[in-house]
Amino acid sequence: MQLFRASIAHFPKHTSDFENDIVVYQDGGLLIDGQRIVAIGTFNAISAQHPNANVIDHSGKWILPGLIDSHLHYPQTQSIANYGEQLLSWLENYTFPTEMQFADSDHASVIANVFIRQLLKNGTTTGLVFSTVHKDSCEALFHASSDINMAMIAGKVCMDRNCPTSLQDTAEQAQKDCASLIEKWHNKGRNKYALTPRFAPTSTEAQLAALGELAKQYDDVFIQTHLSENLDEIAWVKSLFPQAEGYLDVYDKFDLVRERAVFGHGIHLTPNEWARLGDANATIAFCPTSNLFLGSGLFDMTAARANNVHVALATDVGAGTTFNMLKTYGDAYKVSQLRNAPISPLEGFYLMTQGAANAHGLDGEIGNLNAGTVADFVVVEPRFDELTSLRIQPEASFDDVFFALSILGDDRAIAQTWVSGECRYRNTLLQ
């Protein structure tokens, strides 16, 4: 057994009382045995109970649950940080040309491994990930995550119209490929499958119906897509689906609005759509860096709270501008400031750990540091350079540390990332 000594913070349960339900140990101990967490508490208490454990001392650093990124595109790892554009022109000019390259399975494998290294470098241990229309691109990601026993939720993108011909499948092919991928990968190891229509404009009613059939057949798979990101997009959806009552209703008519359905963005929702999302126990993935970069709009966290809608933070790489979840919260804070309802540091931390895990029905495995969960955790060095050493005092409270790092931090603050009880990333500059 290994006993880690550090300051420790986590939310052990689902909550909306962030101030009172966070658990913090200034001198904490985290005991793991193989792939699982055995105990958490003060270092003195855990070491007294387990005197023979191998002690790994990270005093001065923080141990946090592995971070969860609830919406991102692994093929866009190579197209991040292209200049300009809003959503629809971004897809045409950058996204689709990049995704065409994934017809080459060797290319997909290379990028999948680069992508996972970027996640680990930034402390992210679980992602809800879009691949491309190519079945092999999804397989490449699952193979790469399986190699390190990493929890991965992913799916083959489905598009049968309004995209380049080389990126189109059909309703029948999408259903066949997804069923095959579900049987091979879903709940195998730590992998889980997500039915992934890119967004309503690129799927016909026939394709959405075919995916809805799979959603009923495999009722524990995830569903991930985009919703109400851009005003032009919403107008396009209305023209393509004139019988629907709105954008969300397009998905709802095909049984795609439910628990474990994760909708990226949700910026321009109607009151009825907010209410329906809450009733369905569905989730919005709030992607602030992407929303700002593409000029899409400002997410309404107040409406989400009022309708009891699950919200999880996400990078949305590559329209999102960073793999780093700390910086992602930093931009979420700025967005919420513009709406005069700032998201507190503790709520931001919750939305990338326990809150996300609860939304996805996975908090028995990830998102916290409870005994019995998988040993996915991050070792954070808050004072990684001259400025952070000046700003963050050694005895600073966790919320102050987390907020300062959301503004000043990046991957340099990640000292180590552990996945299934193994150190899979080590920042050699901090050793």
The answer to whether 355 and 364 have CB atoms below 8 angstroms apart is: no
**Where do runs of H (alpha helix) occur along 7-104?**
18-21, 43-49, 87-90, 96-100
Q: Which amino acid is at 4?
A: F
Rounded to whole angstroms, the Cα distance separating 327 from 411 reads: 9
d(CA 19, CA 30) in angstroms, rounded, equals 22
What is the rounded distance in angstroms from the CA atom of residue 319 to the CA atom of residue 191?
25
C-alpha–C-alpha distance, residues 150 and 143, integer Å? 10
- What gap in Å lies between CA 155 and CA 319, rounded to an integer? 19
Q: What is the pLDDT of residue 95?
A: 83
Would you call the peptide bond into 330 cis, given omega within 30 degrees of 0 as the criterion?
no
Q: What is the pLDDT of residue 431?
A: 63
pLDDT of 92 reads 77
The predicted-structure confidence for 169-184, as pLDDT tens digits, reads as follows 999 999 999 999 999 9
Cβ proximity of 104 and 344 under 8 Å? no
Which helix H or strand E contains 302, and what residues bound it? Answer: helix 301-306
Q: How many CB atoms lie within 10 A of CB 291?
A: 25
pLDDT digits (tens, 9 = 90+) for 341-363: 999 999 999 999 999 999 999 99
Under the phi-then-psi rule, with left for phi > 0, alpha for psi from -120 to 50, and beta for the rest, what region is 85? Answer: left
SS3 (DSSP) at 401: helix
DSSP lists the bridge partners of residue 418 as 377, 423
3-state secondary structure of 66: coil
Residues of the chain with pLDDT under 50: none
What is the enclosing helix (H) or strand (E) of 36?
A: strand 36-42
What does the alpha-carbon distance between residue 188 and residue 366 come to, in Å, rounded to a whole number?
A: 16
Which residue segments constitute the domains of the chain, with CATH numbers given? 2-66+368-430 (2.30.40.10), 67-323 (3.20.20.140)
pLDDT of residue 85: 75
Question: Which pTM does this prediction carry?
Answer: 0.97
Per-residue burial over 118-137, b = 16 or more CB atoms within 10 Å of its CB, e = otherwise: bbbbbbbbbbbbbbbbbbbb
Contacts of 94 (CB under 8 A, 6+ apart): 76, 79, 82, 85, 318
Element (H, E) at 57: strand 54-65
Closest CA to 274 of 233, 310, 304: 304
> What pLDDT score does 129 carry?
98
